Amino acid sequence: MYKIVSKEILNSAVELMVIEAPFVANKCEAGQFVIVRVDEDGERVPLTIADYDREKKTVTIIYQVIGYSTGLLSKKQAGDYVQDFVGPLGQPAPLHKCDHVIGVAGGVGAAPLYPQLRKLHEMGVKVDVIIGGRSEEFVILKEKFEAFCDHVYVTTDDGSAGIKGFVTTVLQDLIDKGEKFDEVIAIGPLIMMKNVVKVTKPLEIPTAVSLNPIMIDGTGMCGGCRVTVGGQTRFACVDGPDFDGFLVDFDECMKRQGMFREEEHECKLRAAQ
């Protein structure tokens, strides 16, 4: 059992939990993820690691309360326990020493992006970030990025904070103004990552994306997290979750992501009865 040390509500859909998990905290690196089971009968929920503290032996997860299992997790409070907290899973993000990187975060995608950019900053790389949300309340971790990023650009779909528009609008503007980036790291909705690649690929700016397809075992055995990268089948749980955005078949990912939408909806309705 793993103790919830603290819990924070970041907005009406997103929550943060700090979990006591000594082994995961000791070994994890930016880009890796954990699988959480809330209780003995629980579904396995993959969540990217948003932060870790090796001294305090804690790992931070940030999750969107979107389905049945994240709903159960959301009912837990500081001092409660979760049944399983397995990890670190997946490969650490392939972070390179270079001059200038820009991160592009869509909504809750800011959570897995944060440790990657912080690590790059620690490696001496100049780091900027664009954080996008539907509206002001969905722009998360702004202050945390401000602590080390040279520039933090905020976009909202409705214009309630920062620049009105998508993250891709700002990325295109910066490039048009002559900003030079050695690499882009984009994490957020699949459609956002696909559109970031549409901006960067013609200019050959290397672009890493993080995929979070449906996962079951998280160990490469079930094939649930199958994605096509460069025409080859890869498993996001063991080969990823970070991949070269130029090579990802986003359309296939989007089709597979929606596969169990009806079942998930039914499950939520049953739980509400």
**Radius of gyration (Cα) for the chain, nearest Å?**
18
Q: In angstroms, what is the minimal distance from the CB of 214 to ligand FES?
A: 8
Rounded to 10 degrees, what is the CA torsion of 176, 179, 181, 187? -60
What is the number of other CB atoms lying within 10 angstroms of the CB of residue 27? Answer: 12
AA letter at 12: S
AA letter at 173: D
On whether the CB atoms of residues 97 and 123 are closer than 8 A, the answer is: yes
Q: In angstroms, what is the minimal distance from the CB of 246 to ligand NAD?
A: 16
**203 contacts ligand NAD (rule: CB under 6 A):** no
Map residues 228-267 to x or -, x wherever contact with ligand NAD holds by CB under 6 A: -------------x--------------------------
Applying CB under 6 A, among 216, 247, 254, 267 the residue interacting with ligand FES is 216
**192 contacts ligand NAD (rule: CB under 6 A):** yes
Got the DSSP string for 43-79?
PPEEEEEEEEETTTTEEEEEEE--SHHHHHHHH--TT
For the record, the structure tokens of 236 come out as 């996001």
- Is the Cβ of residue 80 or residue 206 nearer to ligand NAD in the bound state? 206
Applying CB under 6 A, among 34, 152, 167, 225 the residue interacting with ligand FES is 225
Applying CB under 6 A, among 17, 149, 215, 248 the residue interacting with ligand FES is 215
- Is the Cβ of residue 133 or residue 245 nearer to ligand NAD in the bound state? 133
**207 contacts ligand NAD (rule: CB under 6 A):** no
- Residues 241-271 as b/e (b if ≥16 CB within 10 A, e otherwise) read bbbebbebebeebeebeeeeeeeeeebeeee
Applying CB under 6 A, among 157, 217, 244, 249 the residue interacting with ligand NAD is 157
**162 contacts ligand FES (rule: CB under 6 A):** no
**88 contacts ligand NAD (rule: CB under 6 A):** no
